Amino acid sequence: MRPVALALFAGLLAGPALVPAAFAQDAADLPKQNWSFAGPFGTYDRASAQRGFQVYKEVCSACHSMKLVHYRDLSGIGFDAKQIAAIAATVEVSGGVNDDGEPFNRPGLPSDMFKSPFANDNAARAANNGALPPDQSVLLNAREGGADYIYDLLTGYADPPAGMTMGDGMNYNKYFPGHQIAMGQPLHDDQVVYSDGTKATIEQEARDVTTFLAFVANPEMEERKRLGAKAIIFLALLTGVTYAVKRRVWADVDH
Amino acid sequence: MAGLHNSEFSNPVINWIDTRLPIFTMMQKEYGSFPTPKNFNYFWNFGALATVNLLLMIATGVFLAMNYTPNTSMAFESVQRIMRDVNYGWLLRYLHSNGASMFFIVVYIHIFRGMYYGSYKKPRELLWILGVVILLLMMATAFMGYVLPWGQMSYWGATVITNLFSAIPLVGDSIVTLLWGGFSVDNPTLNRFFSLHYLMPFVLIAVVFLHVAALHITGSNNPLGIDVKTPQDTLPFHPYYTAKDSVGMCVWAMVLAALVFFAPNFLGDPANFIPANPLQTPAEIVPEWYFLPFYAILRSVPDKLGGVSMMFGSIIVLFILPWLDTSPVRSARFRPIYRVLMWVLVIDLLALGAVGAHRPEGIWVVIGRASTAWYFLHFLVLLPLLGKFEKTLPLPDSISQPVLKGGIGGGPLAGAAAAQSMEKN
C-alpha cells in the first residue's frame, strides 16, 4: 500500500511536468537525427564539433556573429591552449586607445569574444538584401526542434514546388517556416576541406556544424549531465534511507 | 503580561535565551509536539514542499541578482554570462527557472488537496483566503521574473499582460503607463519589475507566515475531513510528520534534479533565447505553462474587458469558495458527486491548459469556451446547489475509529491519550 502511495506521489509530481509536452504547439514534422550529445549521458563528439567549428569559421561566420562566445570557450571541444591562441590571433580586434589617446588594433586573444562579421545590425542588413543573419551563440536553443531543425534546414534546400511564387532574392527551404528563407543555400559538397580526411558531404558538414552550434549554445551540458547523474544517484539513495526512517518512526502507530 | 518566560530547556544557553525570548518553546510547541491528525496521506506533504521551494527560489535568486544587469541593453547578455562565465551560474539559473515550475506544480497540487478534502470550510476560511493571496502574489512574482531575461517572450509577454489593465474603464490607460513607467515596455519597466521581483518573495514569506499561523490556530484538516476529537486522533508533529515530509522532499528534489540536469529548457519557450525586439512580434505569444489555463479563459471571451474580468474572476472566485460550497461535509470521500466533480474540474483545467497552448482557432475555440463555462459553472452553480441535494455518506465517529479498524491501541501515546480523553469526557 505504502509503496503504491509513494509511486502515486512521484507520478503526481512528475505528471504535470509532462503535460506541457502534450500541449506543445504542433511543430512541423522534422526528420530526427542521432546526436552524440542526445540522451542523459550524451557528450559532444569532439572531432565532429571541431570540424563544425571549421565550417562555422569558413562559411557561417561570413555573415553570422557569435557574440556571446569567447575563443577560450573552444577548450570545451578539445582545442588546446596553443591552438586557441593561434585561432584567436587570426582576427584583429580593437585594443581601445593607446597612451597617446589614439585608437589601435591588436591581434585577438583567447579572452576575446568571437569577432562579428559586421560592425552593426544595419551593416549586416545592408550586405544581406535587408535580412539580418541571426547571432548564432544560442541559435540552437532558440529554434523549435533544436539540433534537428538546424540540420534539416541546412540540408532542406530544394527547388520551389511548381506554382509557388518566391519573393525577390528568397530561397525555397522544406523546413523553414513559410518555406521562403533569405539565406541562400550555405553548404555544398566539398565546401570545406577537412584536415582529418573526412569526406565533406552536405550532410557531414551540416551534422558537424550543428554539433558545434549545440556546443556553443550549451557549453555547460557535459558538466551538467555528469553532476546530474551524481545528484540523482545520491537523491535516490537518500529517498530510500528517508523512507526507511519514516517507516521505522511510524512502525508503532496504527494508521 | 510582561515577564520572563519560565523555560523548561535544560541547556543553560538555550534556557538563557528562551527565558528572555521563548522562541525555542515556540518552535517546540508549533513544530515539535504540535498535535497533528494521525491519518494524513502524502497529499499533506505539499505545504511543507511549497515552503522549501520558496526558500530555494530566494536562495538561488539572491545569487542570480548579484550577477544580473537590469538594463534593456545588457539584461539578455548578463543572463548568458551567468550561464557561461559565473561559477555554477548555469546551475543557479536552471534551479531558479525550473524551481518556478516546480513551485507551481507543488502549489497547484496543494490547492487541489485543499479543495478535494474541503480544507477551506469552517473554521479554516481565513487560512484558505491567505492561501489564495499567496497564489496571486506568486503569479505576479513569476510573471515579473519571466520578464527579466529580456528575451522575445519576456518582452511580448510583458506587453500583452500589462496591456490587459488598459481594459479597465476610465483609469485603464493611466494604470498601464504607471506599470510601464513610460509609454511602452522599456527600460523603466524592466527596472521596476526587477525591483518588485526581488521584493515580492519577502512579502510572500510574510503571508506564508500568516498562513501557517492561522493553520496552527485551527489545526490541520485531514483526509476524513472530520474534527480531531481526542488526543488519540493525533500524533506529535515531530518525529512523525517531519519524517513523512522528508520523504516527500527527497522525491521533490529528485524531480527538480531531473529537470535541471537533463531537461533544463524543456518547460521553457525557445523564443526566449532570442533577444527582445520591440519591432518584431513573435508568431505566437504564449505564457509559461503554469499560466496557460488562465490565458485560455482570457482568450475564450470575445471582448477585452470581458476576457480580463473572467481571467481575474477565475482566481477571485476562489476567495469566496468557502461560502459557495454549502455542504457541511468536508472530505470528498464522503461526497460521491463532489468527488466526481473535482476530477472533472481537474480535466477541465488540463483542457484549458491545452487550449492556452494553441492558436485560438477551430476546435480550440469551442473547447476553450466550453471549459471556461464549466469552470465557472462548477464554482458558481454546482457547488452551491450540491450542498442541498447531494446525499453524503455517513461520517466515521472519529479519526482513530476507521484507523484502528476495531483494533485496540494507537500510537505510542495511545495509552496516555486514552486515559486523558476519559478524564475529559
Report angle CA A233, A234, A236 to the nearest 5 degrees: 65
Q: Is residue A207 part of a domain?
A: yes
Q: List the one residue out of B43, B58, B46 whose CA is nearest residue B106.
A: B46
Report angle CA B399, B401, B406 to the nearest 5 degrees: 155
Q: Enter the pTM of the model.
A: 0.91
Question: A138 and chain B: CB distance < 8 Å anywhere?
Answer: yes
Residues A162, A200 within the same domain: yes
Q: List the one residue out of A160, A13, A86, A117 whose CA is nearest residue B43.
A: A13
Give the CATH number for residue A122. 1.10.760.10
Pull the grid cell for residue A211. Answer: 554539433
Question: H or E element: which one contains B131?
Answer: helix B125-147
User: Among all residues of chain A, which has the CA nearest to that of B409?
Assistant: A254
Q: Is residue A75 part of a domain?
A: no
Residues A23, A55 within the same domain: yes
Residue A157 belongs to what domain range?
3-69+115-219
Residues A138, A27 within the same domain: yes
Whether A232 and B273 lie within 8 Å, measured CB to CB? no
Q: Is residue A225 part of a domain?
A: yes
pLDDT at A118 over 60: yes
Burial class (CB in 10 A: 0-12, 13-18, 19+), B397: exposed
Q: Is residue A43 part of a domain?
A: yes
Residues A150, A196 within the same domain: yes
Residues A16, A102 within the same domain: no
Pull the grid cell for residue B229. Answer: 476529537
Strands B234-236, B35-37: pairing is antiparallel
Pull the grid cell for residue B349. Answer: 483545467
Q: Give the pLDDT score at B404.
A: 52
Q: Is residue A142 part of a domain?
A: yes
With a pLDDT cut of 70, the percent of chain A lying above it is 89
Q: Give the pLDDT score at B69.
A: 97
Over the stretch B200-246, which tens digit does the pLDDT of each residue have? Answer: 999 999 999 999 999 999 999 999 999 999 999 999 999 999 999 99
Residues A147, A237 within the same domain: no
Q: With H, G, I as helix, E, B as strand and everything else as coil, classify residue B376.
A: helix
Q: Give the pLDDT score at B2.
A: 83
Over the stretch B362-402, which tens digit does the pLDDT of each residue have? Answer: 999 999 999 999 999 999 999 999 999 999 999 999 998 76
Residues A94, A131 within the same domain: no
Q: Which residues of A touch B409 (CB under 8 A)?
A: 254
Q: Give the pLDDT score at B412.
A: 43
What residues pair up with A181 in beta bridges, in sequence order?
A171
Residues A57, A138 within the same domain: yes
**Which is higher by pLDDT, A156 or B401?**
A156
Whether A23 and B252 lie within 8 Å, measured CB to CB? no
Q: List the one residue out of B290, B77, B312, B272 whose CA is nearest residue B156.
A: B272
Q: Which residues of B touch A249 (CB under 8 A)?
A: 239-240, 243
Cβ atoms within 10 A of the Cβ of B107, count? 22
Mean pLDDT of chain A: 90
Distance CA B347, CA B353 (A): 10
Rg (CA), chain A: 24
pLDDT at B422 over 80: no
Mean pLDDT of chain B: 93
Average pLDDT, integer, range B66-94: 97
Q: Is residue A74 part of a domain?
A: no
Given B110, B121, B211, B244, the catalytic residue: B244
Over the stretch B102-120, which tens digit does the pLDDT of each residue have? Answer: 999 999 999 999 999 999 9
- ipTM for this prediction: 0.89
Over the stretch A57-109, which tens digit does the pLDDT of each residue have? Answer: 999 999 999 999 999 999 999 999 999 999 999 999 999 999 999 999 999 99
Confidence of residue B35 (pLDDT cuts 50, 70, 90): very high
- Taking only residues 63 to 122 of chain B, the set having a beta carbon closer than 8 angstroms to any beta carbon of chain A reads 77, 80-81, 83-84, 90-91, 94, 101, 105-106, 108-109
The answer to whether B107 and B204 have CB atoms below 8 angstroms apart is: no
Distance CA A33, CA A147 (A): 8
* Angle of helix B46-67 versus helix B75-84 axis, rounded to 10: 110
B220 is catalytic: yes
Q: Is residue A76 part of a domain?
A: no
Residues 6+ apart with CB under 8 A from B217: none
Domain count, chain A: 3
Q: Which of B41, B106, B274 sits opposite A142 (nearest CB)?
A: B274
Q: From the CA of A78, how many Å to the nearest CA of chain B? A: 17
pLDDT at B130 over 80: yes
The answer to whether B77 and B217 have CB atoms below 8 angstroms apart is: no
Over the stretch B2-13, which tens digit does the pLDDT of each residue have? Answer: 899 999 999 999
Residues A94, A164 within the same domain: no
Q: Is residue A173 part of a domain?
A: yes
Question: H or E element: which one contains B235?
Answer: strand B234-236
Residues A177, A191 within the same domain: yes
B216 is catalytic: yes
Residues A123, A25 within the same domain: yes
Q: Give the pLDDT score at A7.
A: 57
Over the stretch A164-209, which tens digit does the pLDDT of each residue have? Answer: 999 888 999 999 999 999 999 999 999 999 999 999 999 999 999 9
Given B18, B233, B269, B288, the catalytic residue: B288
Residues A58, A127 within the same domain: yes
Over the stretch A217-244, which tens digit does the pLDDT of each residue have? Answer: 999 999 999 999 999 999 999 999 999 9
Burial class (CB in 10 A: 0-12, 13-18, 19+), B41: middle
Q: With H, G, I as helix, E, B as strand and everything else as coil, classify residue A172.
A: strand
